[in-house]
Amino acid sequence: MSYIQIRNLWKEYADQVVLERINARVNKGDFITIVGASGCGKTTFLKMLLGTESPSRGAILLEDAPIPDEPSQQRGIVFQRYSVFPHLTVLKNVMLARELEHSPLLGKLFGSARRTAKQEALAMLEKVGLTAAIKKYPHELSGGMQQRLAIAQSLIRKPAILLLDEPFGALDPGIRADMHKLVLELWKQHQLTIFMITHDLKEGFLLGTRLWVFDKPRHDPQAPGAFGARITYDIPVGQSDRSLYQKIDQQLQVTQELTMEGNAA
Amino acid sequence: MKKIINLQPHNGTRWLLALLPFLLLLLLYVAASNARLADNPGDKLLPAMGSFADAIQRMAFEPDKRSGDYLLWVDTGSSLIRLGLGVGISALAGLAFGILNGAIPFARAPLSPLVTFLSLIPPMAILPILFIIFGMDELAKVMLIIIGITPALIRDMQQRVLEIPAEQLIKAQTLGASSWQIILRVVLPQILPRLLASVRLALGSAWLFLIAAEAIASTDGLGYRIFLVRRYLAMDVILPYVIWITLLAFFIDYGLKKISQWSFPWFHSQTGDGGKS
């Protein structure tokens, strides 16, 4: 039995089909990177996994039950931006999850419980390499440090599924490579199931265990919203070659141009 | 020669330039006052500097002949208590209802249109109603301030809560936060510095309503005194009182700004108003 099943999933807004007939099975521990032209419903799909959007048709099943339709501690998330709390220092950003867990009324811990939470947060911050910055506020951190903080903050609550929405899109290539290493390490260590959206196809070929390509196989130039995107490729990472990369890259570019033309018309 | 938009005054120059208009105004006043007094030594409209000194001495440092009070300080105390109560209660209400409306759609649906409606009632127009309901004593005056500034504060706080990025609220939920915990740990701390900023802006209106209420029905207070001595054309008392009120307003504003900078450093470095005024 699969961990996550996606059954005939559709998402439509008014006259626009965003996703159509998505079917997939995901095993525990899969690391799926999702690529696709912009406007192909990648983020919408992630939001449905997160529970902030609901499917128009079909369902996402998590261990055979419909996935909860609001965010929960089962599914951690790192957005491209705004993922950390600007009013808390680095240390407190990470401690927050523990405080919320153990103090339902005040959301704050004191005494020995606080010390335990602090130790745990410090250990997590060490893993992501932020030990030197624990007293800083997020606005004092670079983009890469903020994203590492966001990851640490998500992982301390030990989610089963980690959702990453272009987490490294705004980072420099050098820092991106460091972050890839970090994510792969944490994925193995915490036995996570990861869905990561990226618009960098190279990143998709490099990270994780599976690559999904979201693309629109059909286009109607008169009605750009008539057909939605589907999963056009589901490839095991590491077994693909250069020609496949180029083929997918080409197709995504075609879709991108068609979408732009559609929007312009 | 640099372009004028690139020329920056140095620190000392900046202070000098800041003082200059005040000095000019003072000079202008003294000249006009001298001219009028030369014409008519009994003129009351633009009293000489000496008359101000006498009036301040009389109001602040000598007991009143009839009541034995030091009037300036009694007036200041009464006014500040009214202002503090009015603004304090308004701030608390603004915070509570602002967060409620901003964070909970089912509270916003019935309350937000009501608050918008209430905020459009001109407070001065219902002052008579307040006097009828709350009598002529303290409560009516404090109520005028509350009614005057609370709806705007609520609307502002609601807007600020709605401006918190949805990503943060979602993130908190993925960390297991309940609605209450999100309000307490994510919304409230981020709204407090914004509340202080809104209160600073609302203080202008608060003073307006305070002085209006005191002028109409009161037996002490800064507004009461100004309107009382107006009957005798006592510009020598009115002008120092006005300057005193302005100074009080300035120091309250400055104090709130310092409290905010000291308590919420993350907020001020974000908005970029760290040290400048």
Nearest to B85 by CA among B141, B36, B165: B141
Give residue limits of the domains in chain A. 4-74+159-264, 86-141+151-157
Span B224-257, pLDDT tens digits = 999 998 888 889 999 999 999 999 999 999 999 9
Which residue from B167, B264, B270 is facing A139, i.e. has the nearest CB?
Answer: B270
Burial-class residue A69 by CB neighbours within 10 Å (0-12, 13-18, 19+): middle
Is the CB of residue A85 less than 8 Å away from at least one CB of chain B? yes
Asked whether the beta carbons of residue B270 and residue A86 sit closer than 8 angstroms, the reply is yes
Domain positions in chain B: 59-63+70-271
The structure tokens listed for B215 are 């002028």
The residue length of chain B stands at: 277
pLDDT at B239: 93
CA gap A5, A137 in Å, rounded: 40
DSSP-based three-state secondary structure for B155: helix
pLDDT of residue A196: 93
- Give B-chain residues touching A85 at CB under 8 angstroms: 168, 171-172, 186, 190
pLDDT of the residue at A202: 82
How many CB atoms are located within 10 Å of the residue A256 CB?
17
Q: Which helix (H) or strand (E) holds A31?
A: strand A31-36
Q: CB of A7 within 8 A of CB of A185?
A: no
| Best mutation target, B169, B171, B192, to test chain A (most A CBs within 10 A) | B171
The whole-number pLDDT of residue B272 equals 60
Instruction: Quick: pLDDT tens for B174-216.
Output: 999 999 999 999 999 999 999 999 999 999 999 999 999 999 8
CB A122 within 8 A of CB A131: yes
Give the gap in angstroms from C-alpha A155 to the nearest C-alpha of chain B: 9
- Measured from the Cβ of residue B101, the count of other Cβ atoms closer than 10 Å reads 24
The pLDDT, as a whole number, for residue A264 is 56
- The whole-angstrom distance between B85's CA and the closest CA on chain A is 28
Positions in chain A whose pLDDT score sits under 70:
1, 238-241, 259-265
> How far apart, in Å, do the first and last CA atoms of chain A sit?
46
Residue A108, phi-psi category: left (phi > 0), alpha (psi -120 to 50), beta (remainder)? beta
Domain at A4-74+159-264: CATH architecture: 3-Layer(aba) Sandwich (3.40)
Is the confidence at residue B276, as pLDDT, over 50?
no
Instruction: Return all residues near B277 (Cβ < 8 A) that are at least 6 apart.
Output: B257
What is residue A5's three-state secondary structure?
Answer: strand
Evaluate whether the domain defined by B59-63+70-271 bears CATH number 1.10.3720.10. Answer: yes
Which residues of chain A neighbour B267 with C-beta distances below 8 Å?
Answer: 86-87
